[in-house]
Amino acid sequence: MLFNSYLFVFIFLPVSLAGFYLTAGKGNGKAARLWLLAVSLWFYGSFQIGFLLILAGSAVFNYGIYLLMAKRRQGRRGVLTAGIAGNLALLAYFKYAGFFLENLNRLCGTEFALLKLLLPVGISFFTFQQISFLTDVYRGDVEECGFTDYFLYIAYFPKLVEGPLVNHEELFPQFAAVGRKGFEPERFIQGVMLFVLGMMKKVILADTFGGAVDYGYSELAAMHGSDAALLVIFYALQLYFDFSGYCDMARGVSRMFGIELPVNFNSPYQAADIIDFWKRWHITLNRFFTRYVYIPLGGNRKGKAKMYRNLLFVFLLSGIWHGAGWNFILWGMLHGVLYVATRMWQERSGKRPGGNGIQADREGNRNENRSRNENGNRNENGIGRYAGRIVNCMGRWLHVLATFLYVSVAWVYFRAESVAQGNELLAKLFRNDFVRVNRNLAGYFNLDEFWYVLKVLRLDQWEFGHYILMAVLTAGSLLLVFFGKNAAQLAERMKPKLWNAALAAVLLFWCVLTFSEVSTFLYFNF
């Protein structure tokens, strides 16, 4: 069951909300928690009943590991190791067995039959979440936990299949508070708007760019340099709108239940360097690797050389986590190498390249003071008053653009089916064949509701009329990701007023009209 489906919007969500608020005041919230667990199992089982059995089996196994650690004072490390190994074995079997056998056959000349396994939806997310829980139990950070609450923590449907990754201390207190507070109109309308804005990201923007991307990669031999350049940008926008759109929808749905999920994206394409990017992109995954991999390896406490090694190892794991393929490993290392290089630069210079907004203001003030000392007369006339800030602001946005372009090029290997296909696309960027954009590629942007306007204005008869909507949607999307506020910031402004409800209804209706061309979320495959 997808968030962007008739079944979810018109049946599942209304039934879930109605049942939750009808039971919220009963049994000190226990009835509402059981209801949330029931609808979560319904949600996950709708993908395939076998997936639900795997999820339940994984939860029972991990809860058993928790009980063993809770009862023991000695040998807890061994129990934790067994628990983590069991989780990784399940993940490796479904996600990496085929990749391992394929490379083993290639290297050793063997002929092992490749496993054709259907990857359970969200297995990477609920596996990592359970590993984090067991680790926190070992550290003594988890108080007594019943199985129902634990299973709800793992299976809670808004974040189950695509995140965000949530730590136990973020959800358990909120589950315990269920039923102690009533319906909150302001929070509810904010949740509705966050859900609708996330859906618009997905069905209006991500799926539009996605159609062009799928066509371009399937017809790569027919693409020219101009087409390849656009495909790089299109996929960067598609992936952001798709994944952040899902997380916005998940946070919006959860907020309707009065439960807050952590922010997973914070305008990442506004980052001025790769380190800033990873503080804004998939924030909860970055937090997981920092807390459960980087710091246990020693973090930055054992010298710079080991710190850089630890960072590279984290990005190697990130690549492997995202997919079973050398292209994902290469993607991870492209980020890791630049991350380490940027960290080295910071260590030497003592400042961040480009800086954030606060850093930019400080740099601007220093430049302004320097300008006053050297050019007092001009400052009196106001000529040099803002020069430092303008120069620094321009420098920062050059860093933002450079970071975006680097990340977008690295995304090529994230999207490509192999390293070779990624290389083929990037090679086209360096060929001198930047001709008019492929007409079929542009055709994916001619959405019916907009294309009709062009026909009325007779712009479709213009030689370049077929490219108008592609240019408008691409330029508008770039302006949005570089300068606009994100969905979370916009939703926070919503108040329970009639016009806000009407706006949400109109936007939702627009999204629903596109459900006939619905597509799954990209991270369902990870």
Catalytically annotated residues: 322
Distance between CA atoms of residues 154 and 139, nearest Å: 19
Dihedral through CA 134, CA 135, CA 137, CA 138, nearest 10?
120
CA distances in angstroms from 57 to 62, 87, 115, 172, 398, listed in the order given:
9, 11, 21, 21, 50
Q: Which of 132, 99, 133 is nearest to 116 (CA)?
A: 99
- Tokens in use for 292? 């459960």
Neighbouring C-alpha atoms within 13 Å toward the C-beta of 518 = 15
Q: Which of 509, 526, 523 is nearest to 204 (CA)?
A: 509
Q: Which of 183, 175, 172, 189 is nearest to 36 (CA)?
A: 175
Distance between CA atoms of residues 114 and 102, nearest Å: 7
**How many CB atoms within 10 Å of residue 188?**
18
Helix axes 123-138, 147-155, angle to 10 degrees: 140
Neighbouring C-alpha atoms within 13 Å toward the C-beta of 134 = 31
CA distances in angstroms from 139 to 68, 69, 136, 297, listed in the order given:
14, 10, 5, 16
Name residue, tokens 């960290």.
Answer: 343
Residue 387 DSSP SS3: helix
